[in-house]
A and B are shown apart, each in its own frame.
Chain A
Amino acid sequence: MLVNFYLALRLGGVPVSITEFLALLEALEARLAQLSPQEFYYLARTCLVKDEHHYDRFDQVFAQVFQGAEQLFTQLLASVPPEWLASLTARVFSAEEQRRVAALGGWQQLLETLRARLAEQQQAHRGGNKWIGTGGTSPFGAHGFNPEGIRVGEGNGGAKRAVKVWERREFRNFDDGVELGTRNLKLALRKLRRFARQGAAEELDLDGTIDATARNGGMLDIKLVPERHNAVKVLLFLDVGGSMDEHVRVCEELFSATRSEFKHLEHFYFHNFIYENLWQDNRRRFEALLPTERVLRTYGHDYRAIVMGDATMSPYEITQPGGSIEHWNTEPGAVWLQRLCAAFPRLVWLNPEDPQRWDYTPSLRITRQLIGERMFPLTLAGLDLAIRELRRPFTAQGGATPGAGATFVTQGPAAGVP
């Protein structure tokens, strides 16, 4: 039964490992959840699901797997041996309660009624998908028919509520089913870390101390060095154009991953292609324009630039003055991109489009040529390659060939479109 559930969970896309499944079995053995489906549901969720994004999938699988399980509970109840209950009475019920039970015709009759009710209910719930005990067994609860360890009344009451809990599917919003988690992105970005010692001296510099002490004639001279911090500086250029809409999620993920990974990170937005203005706040993009030229001036060559965009547009938007779909640009976008390449020799372009389609989009081909084929797909593998490119030392920068790009622009768009 539970192995089925485990397999169904895995099939349903909830990542459950054997360890977690064994933990659930252990918890069941410790009698953490007793005969109440609701308790079982909570317990299983606590043990098996480790991310609220998966709660919804878990709920679905749970409902599916345990759809038929209500019969199991009924059978269980119907097969409760009378002696068992009788022996419990003495232990569990007070004299007052026992008198009340006697007034109802004694245990025997009560049990008979229970069985009758259960049978009745089995017929009733064949039609619908209700759990047992919505009305049927609850009177027994009222009569104190709730022996510890069996929990007939409470189990049923709980069952009804629990059905609601997992059938309500309240966690639907959390389920995003993203392939590329931010954690993976961050792990990829970690490779870009370059540690440098900056700030207050807090760490013991062992070599320095030994050296200084020796020079000091054996008198201790303690040297401290600042702790190492990630000193990589990154500029992020993000396309917020209309065609990027379908990639918003993955871009947001990359953005949030970079945000927490790099201390020196500046981000800029552009629409479709880089022209003379950028902006940093999307909500105030028309008031707070930032001249691209100022960005090129402000940040040093040691900054690494990551451009993120689909580079999918009309080729004229890149190669022609006035090609921008938003405003009149006196200089073509290609010129601005070349300036960007020159200012930040370590530059990559991440493209969320499927690489298979790259060859069929003229604007994409032009862009790739302009940046010296340093375009990578926005996948983990692509990110790895991009970071390898960004890690290259300063001098070995042969990627960008501004000359070739410049001649390309003068040829006009016709050359770019076969």
Chain B
Amino acid sequence: MSKQRFSGTERYVATDELMMAVNAAITLERPLLIKGEPGTGKTQLAQEIAAALQRPLHEWHIKSTSKAQQGLYEYDAVSRLRDSQLGEARVHDIGNYILKGRLWEAFESPTQPVLLIDEIDKADIEFPNDLLRELDRMEFYVYETRALVKARHRPIIIITSNNEKELPDAFLRRCFFHYIRFPDEATMRAIVAVHYPQLKKELLAEALGAFFEVRAAPGLKKKPSTSELLDWIKLLVAEDIDPAALRSGDAKKVIPILHGALLKNEQDVHLFEQLVFMHRRAR
């Protein structure tokens, strides 16, 4: 088999299951749909695959106003009309006014590219359905120039979703699917080690302890995730915090210091304070 295999990178810790999903998608040339809690490295995955396999990366970030057509191409009728008024020569070729979209760019890539379709659930509910043929056959038709655009190499397509909308069955059937589970403590250690190799052992142990404690608090609106942990550790390192200060037994510190990196809204901070308070009273 000449296909390359993905096995994580220096900066990205991939679990066995994730590697299997990615390799299956690469080998069978099918889009891979990645779901998971925010901050578990869904978007980063595509970047790391591109880096590991040394492929060009095309990113298509989806917004609520995105249309499937924008990923293929857009016809700039307004500037063509203007040009026709000014008598420009290029107006005769309609191809001059076709603006290529992300998907087209990826299709044209001389080597097999990685295409990231980020947060597909942000778009309208019909958006995935409009891309079925393009993802299946890796080709589309440009009506204005009557040309069929075909992918030179089927791109490795990574699609991420935050579960804001459910995706249609027909679309799902064409994808492979993987749900990135929240890493357990061992994986988390590996992830932190990859990002902060110089981190002191005690600080890491205390930070992870505090982090999983915060995560375990029931009813949080937004549980802190890997990216938040990494930010927090960065802060701790930057401020040169003493590991002992993180110990939750410290009665004066009700919630972990620099919690702003972990808890992202005031209700959660409030809730956590209450929980800690109740916990201490119970003791």
Interface residue ranges, A against B (CB under 8 Å): 15, 17, 19-20, 23, 26-27, 30-33, 38-39, 42-43, 45-47, 49-52, 55, 165, 170-171, 181-183, 186-187, 190, 204, 209, 219-220, 222, 224, 260
Contact = CB atoms under 8 A, between A and B. Distances in A.
B16 A42 contact: yes
B181 interface: yes
Given A20-B173, A260-B165, A27 B125 contact: no
Interface in B73-87: 77-78, 81-82, 84-85
B176 A47 contact: yes
A170 B172 CA distance: 22
B30 interface: yes
Contact of B27 (A15, A17, A30, A260): A30
A33 B20 contact: yes
Contact of A30 (B16, B28, B33, B172): B28
A181 B125 CA distance: 13
Nearest to A227: B65
A222 B86 CA distance: 14
**Which 9 pairs, one residue from A and one from B, show the smallest C-beta to C-beta distance?**
A183-B166, A52-B179, A50-B172, A42-B20, A220-B85, A46-B21, A50-B177, A42-B17, A46-B176
Nearest to B33: A50
Given A46-B178, A47-B176, A204 B1 contact: no
B85 A183 contact: no
A39 B16 CA distance: 8
B175 interface: yes
Given A42-B21, A181-B166, A222-B78, A32 B176 contact: no
Given A38-B16, A182-B166, A23 B85 contact: no
B260 interface: no
A46 B24 CA distance: 8
B35 interface: yes
- Which of B85, B174, B178, B179 counts the most A-chain CB atoms under 10 A from its CB? B179
A46 B84 contact: no
Contacts of A19: 173-174
A51 B82 CA distance: 49
A183 B165 contact: yes
Interface string B154-181: 0000000000111111001111111101
Contacts of A27: 24, 27-28
Given A46-B176, A50-B172, A32 B181 contact: no
B27 to A, nearest CB: 5
A31 B27 CA distance: 10
B114 to A, nearest CB: 18
Interface in B4-37: 16-17, 20-21, 23-25, 27-28, 30, 33, 35
A222 B177 contact: no
Contacts of A55: 179
A39 B165 contact: no
Interface of B: 1, 16-17, 20-21, 23-25, 27-28, 30, 33, 35, 77-78, 81-82, 84-85, 125, 164-169, 172-179, 181
Contacts of A182: 165-166
B25 to A, nearest CB: 8
Contact of A39 (B20, B28, B84, B181): B20
A186 B82 CA distance: 41
Candidate in A46, A51, A171, A190 with the most chain B CB atoms within 10 angstroms: A46
Nearest to B32: A46
A23 B30 contact: yes
17 contacts: A15-B169, A23-B28, A23-B30, A27-B27, A32-B20, A43-B24, A46-B17, A46-B20, A46-B21, A46-B24, A46-B25, A46-B178, A49-B177, A51-B172, A52-B179, A183-B166, A220-B85
Nearest to A39: B20
A311 to B, nearest CB: 29
A182 B167 CA distance: 10
Contact of A219 (B78, B85, B165, B167): B85
B31 to A, nearest CB: 12
A38 B24 CA distance: 14
B78 to A, nearest CB: 6
A186 B165 CA distance: 9
B160 to A, nearest CB: 14
A220 B84 contact: yes
A47 B85 CA distance: 55
Contact of A32 (B27, B82, B167): B27
B81 A26 contact: no
A171 B180 CA distance: 11
B201 to A, nearest CB: 27
Nearest to B76: A204
A331 B155 CA distance: 67
Contacts of B17: 42, 45-46, 165
A31 B17 CA distance: 16
Contact of B168 (A17, A46, A183): A183
A19 B28 CA distance: 13
B177 A183 contact: no
B165 A46 contact: no
Contacts of A224: 78
Nearest to A165: B17
B125 A183 contact: yes
A103 B78 CA distance: 82
A247 B277 CA distance: 33
Nearest to B22: A46
Given A47-B24, A50-B173, 4 more contacts: A31-B1, A39-B20, A186-B166, A260-B165
Contacts of A30: 1, 27-28
B75 to A, nearest CB: 10
Contacts of B21: 42, 46
B152 to A, nearest CB: 22
Nearest to A220: B85
A189 B21 CA distance: 35
Contacts of B179: 52, 55, 171
A157 to B, nearest CB: 12
Contacts of A46: 17, 20-21, 24-25, 176-178
A186 B126 CA distance: 11
